[in-house]
Amino acid sequence: MKNFTEMKRAGQRITALTAYDYPTARLLDESGIDIILVGDSVGMVVLGYEDTTRVTLPEMLHHTRAAARGVKRALLVADMPIHTYDSPEQAVASARELVGAGAQAVKLEGGASHARHIEAVVQAGISVMGHIGMLPQSVREEGGYRLKGRSQSEVEQLIQDGHAVEKAGAFAVVLEIVKSDAAKQITDAVGIPTIGIGSGEHCDGQILVTHDLIGLFPWFTPKFVSPAGRVADEIRRAATAFIERTQSGSPLSNGRNA
């Protein structure tokens, strides 16, 4: 595990992307990414759920095992799904299951409200990444994905959350959909790295859902993402070509058994 705090002090930006399967995890690992997150975003971009609130621990264990088989050098972090860390004791039990599936660290949502949960998991010998700002597991209560840090009181609360996560022992904290200047204040205030998603350029690192980055989920792309690829278009092109060759009676290339 890299010393991410040292990277923050040295001004080295931390890179993180999501993976939910063996080939994607292996490709990201071979590309030199610092952190691979088996995110509960798997619910939307792989499993077809409306949001992350239907993702279960067995589903996260399944995808963590798959991703872990492809990772040799990056830090593999697994999300703890909703209602798997309602108490510190449950958080420790769930974290142990994810580590047993191959994760090297876990991530859970919540700041000061979940400091005890983070502390319990860290004391159990498991590394924790925090997550503050917009909390996707609370999207139904929030009524959507809302920008955080728009008022000074919100900024002060986020800074308190960052300090609480740090004091509890987290090695880094994700800032999701936080106003850019607020994200800078949080980043300057805490000693652990901040990993931003939709939170501007001032964080110590950045994370994206890989499907958004490569254009593999074309039905919805967050406003803060500029896809670097169009994989969905390539899949459609290849599938269309296969259909046309098959229907015309052209010989097909040999492939692995279905």
The CA distance from 249 to 23, in Å, is 32
Hey, what are 69's tokens? 């088989």
* Nearest Cα to Cα of residue 59 among 93, 109, 98, 85: 98
Question: Measuring CA to CA, how many Å separate 112 from each of 116, 133, 168, 195?
Answer: 8, 12, 9, 18
Question: Measuring CA to CA, how many Å separate 176 from each of 9, 156, 219, 234, 253?
Answer: 22, 16, 21, 30, 45
The CA distance from 201 to 5, in Å, is 18
Catalytic machinery residues: 176
